Amino acid sequence: MSEKIGFIGLGIMGSPMAKNLINAGFEVCAYDIIEKNLDHVVDSGAKKACCPKEVSENSDIIIIMVQNSPQSEKAILGDEGALEGASKGDLIIDMSSISPLVSQKISKECLKSGVSFLDAPVSGGEPGAIEGTLAIMTGGSSSDFERSKPVFDVLGGSSVLCGEVGAGNFTKLANQMIVGANIHILAEALTLTTKAGLDPETVFNAIKGGLAGSNVMNTKAPMMYERNFKPGFRIELHLKDITNAMETANEMQIPLQVTSNLHQVLKSLVLDGKGVDDHSGILKFVEKQSGVEVKK
């Protein structure tokens, strides 16, 4: 592979993504604030860096995969951040799910140094990161998007240029709003039918082929009635995304009634100690309110 890749952020998503790039033949220089995460990827063939600046000094395309807006700003714009070590013509791709307004702020700073920027958040969770089947939603120029395609083709099953910088994260917020609302109403539906004496698995099988059917239902309904809340995507992370949606909507002066309610549900679950559960655990909020337990 001709372009050298930098990877900053080697958590539950970033680690398998970096490994997929290494396995595809890319030369990867990596960094994470947690030493064991970094060592794990270095053992797979990555070059070890001591800070984001060193990553970008040794890379042409720098990928950021961190938790939220403050972490992205620090990794890119902070002291010894990626922008300090980047050269004119380099490309920074922030694949974190953050505020689209922050993405636009970061992009403006990068452009001052002649560094290109894409925001490219993903959907698919840890399984998608491991399998290389993530859905990648991108904001930026068409030329930068085309340059990134060899990387995206390794990391994802699909990649779409949604518009200018910020469009990727606006699209990701839309995705998270829809997914969260679907899980919440699915939980209410299974709770209602369980209370009525029906088997939730039978209800799921009866309706999944109709208009109510969805990828969300196919994935999350079995987790609910099998009481499997092992995280593929944690409630606390979904809360982060919906908080970003609410803050962005407030800045844009747009009322979001369903999203606002979802925000309160997720926040309640986190305060109740359920933040590390899979977001199918929204069911637990509904069950607590109703006094009904959904199970086969």
Domains in the chain with CATH codes: 5-165 (3.40.50.720), 170-290 (1.10.1040.10)
Residue written as token pair 């064991």: 36
Indicate the pTM of the whole model: 0.91
pLDDT above 70 for 1: no
Whether the CA torsion 17, 21, 22, 23 is positive or negative: it is positive
Summary mean pLDDT of the chain: 97
Q: What is the pLDDT of residues 125-180, one digit of tens each?
A: 888 999 999 999 999 999 999 999 999 999 999 999 999 999 999 999 999 999 99
The 10s digit of each residue's pLDDT in 6-18 is 999 999 999 999 9
Contact 37, 15 (CB under 8 A): yes
At 2, the pLDDT band (50, 70, 90 cuts) reads confident
Write out pLDDT tens, residues 44-82: 999 999 999 999 999 999 999 999 999 999 999 999 999
Q: Catalytic amino acids?
A: 172
Coil, strand or helix: which one is 134?
strand
Residue 124 in this model has a pLDDT that exceeds 90: no
Side-chain-side CA neighbours of 198 within 13 Å: the count stands at 13
Query: Confidence band (pLDDT; 50, 70, 90) for 262?
Result: very high
For the segment 183-231, what is each residue's pLDDT rounded down to a tens digit? 999 999 999 999 999 999 999 999 999 999 999 999 999 999 999 999 8
Please check the confidence at residue 26 and state whether its pLDDT lies above 80: yes
Closest CA to 188 of 292, 65, 34, 42: 292
How far apart (Å, rounded) are the C-alpha atoms in residues 64 and 7? 6
* H helix and E strand count, the chain: 14, 9
